[in-house]
Amino acid sequence: MQVPAAFEYAKATTVSQTLDLLSQWGEDARVIAGGHSLIPMMKLRLARPTALIDINDVSELSYIRVEGGELRIGALTRHAELLDSALVEEHYRIFRDAERVIADPIVRNRGTVGGSLCQADPAEDLSAAFAAVDASVVIHGPRGSRTVPLTEFHVGPYETVVEAGELLTEVRVPIRPGGGSAYVKVERRVGDWAVAAAGAAIWTDADGSVSRVGIGLAAVGAEHFRAAEAEAFLVGKPATQESFAEAGRIAAEASNPVADQRGPVDYKRHLAGELTVRALRAAAARARGQEA
């Protein structure tokens, strides 16, 4: 088996202890929770943190609750908990859709919401799902906390605004009743990273026109995992197949995928459009109270 190089290790039980350890150990220390991205990288010796701060026992970061009109999800929430949460399902069905296709059930028992966002893989499903629902994240650091909209969170592939010494602690999603949301993904096989995926959340006015919409895209090089141009186009348009098709066209055009063994650029761009349409259609059906 591949095994990691040696490192120092400490188990934190509180956020403040985690921050203390981060400042004590410096920028080569890493926080670890599920570890399903970090440990394989360490085994390949592509990641070589000098120290790991284990936050699995920081129970104050493990929660899903409604507060201040927002769904608040602690960073240590496991994928399985997000998947199984009735509270989340009540407000945003996009998360159950997304979580069902993230990795596999056993990895989901271990992997965390915060870890997935901070890993910032360009194919990360949760980044796209959160982008679609206008989420923001709370980051704690030595100088207190700050809230950053998800649309400003990612700096690039595998890079976020979380700085050395900081810890992502919470994800917040504004609760906006009356909408519908959905997530669709194409993968080569169950458990694989997305070839492409799209999430959508949509709200309509009484006349059937789109009052608010969010579209998140994974694995197609969308800036901040979001199809901003397609969203802008849709607002005020009737929530119809024609509008969705045009939104899909716009999303595909704005996407910037790279070729890899999951597919060539033309295919991924096509999927960006096709899946945008499908996600919008499913979200709109749910907004209307129909199953999709």
Q: Give the interface segment with other proteins, choosing from 97-105, 138-146, 214-222, 232-240 (CB under 8 A).
A: 97-105
Q: In this structure, are residues 140 and 167 in contact, taking their beta carbons and an 8 Å threshold?
A: yes
User: Least Å distance between CB 203 and other proteins?
Assistant: 27
Q: Binding residue for other proteins (CB under 8 A) from 2, 143, 156, 177? A: 2
Supply 208's token pair: 């059937």
What whole-number distance in Å separates Cα of residue 292 and Cα of residue 286?
A: 6
What whole-number distance in Å separates Cα of residue 219 and Cα of residue 198?
A: 9
* Binding string, residues 206-245; x marks residues near other proteins by CB under 8 A: ----------------------------------------
The single-letter DSSP state of residue 6 is: P
* Binding string, residues 20-49; x marks residues near other proteins by CB under 8 A: ---------------xx--xx--xxx----
Asked if 4 touches other proteins (CB under 8 A), the answer is: yes
135 vs 182 by CB, closer to other proteins? 182
User: Pick from 61, 282, 268: which is nearest to 183 by CA?
Assistant: 282
Q: Binding residue for other proteins (CB under 8 A) from 12, 22, 31, 52? A: 52
78 vs 154 by CB, closer to other proteins? 78
Q: Give the interface segment with other proteins, choosing from 6-14, 122-130, 160-168, 173-181 (CB under 8 A).
A: 6-14
Dihedral sign computed on CA atoms, order 120, 163, 201, 173: positive
* Binding string, residues 255-284; x marks residues near other proteins by CB under 8 A: ----xxxxxx--x--xx--xx---------
CA neighbours closer than 13 Å in the CB half-sphere of residue 98 = 37
105 vs 142 by CB, closer to other proteins? 105
What whole-number distance in Å separates Cα of residue 223 and Cα of residue 157?
A: 10
Q: In this structure, are residues 193 and 123 in contact, taking their beta carbons and an 8 Å threshold?
A: yes
User: Least Å distance between CB 212 and other proteins?
Assistant: 27
- Report residue 58: phi and psi, to 5°: -80, 80
CA distances from 152 to 127, 156, 161, 162, 176 (A): 12, 10, 8, 11, 21
User: Least Å distance between CB 247 and other proteins?
Assistant: 16
Length of the chain: 292
Q: Binding residue for other proteins (CB under 8 A) from 23, 50, 54, 121? A: 54
Amino acid residing at 70: E
110 vs 176 by CB, closer to other proteins? 110
* Binding string, residues 109-128; x marks residues near other proteins by CB under 8 A: xx------------------
Supply 150's token pair: 């998800």
User: Least Å distance between CB 239 and other proteins?
Assistant: 21
How many Å from the N-terminal Cα to the C-terminal Cα in the chain? 44
* Helices and strands (H, E) in the chain, number of each type: 11, 13
Q: Which residues form the interface with other proteins (CB under 8 A)?
A: 1-9, 11, 35-36, 39-40, 43-45, 52, 54, 56, 103-107, 109-110, 186-193, 195, 259-264, 267, 270-271, 274-275
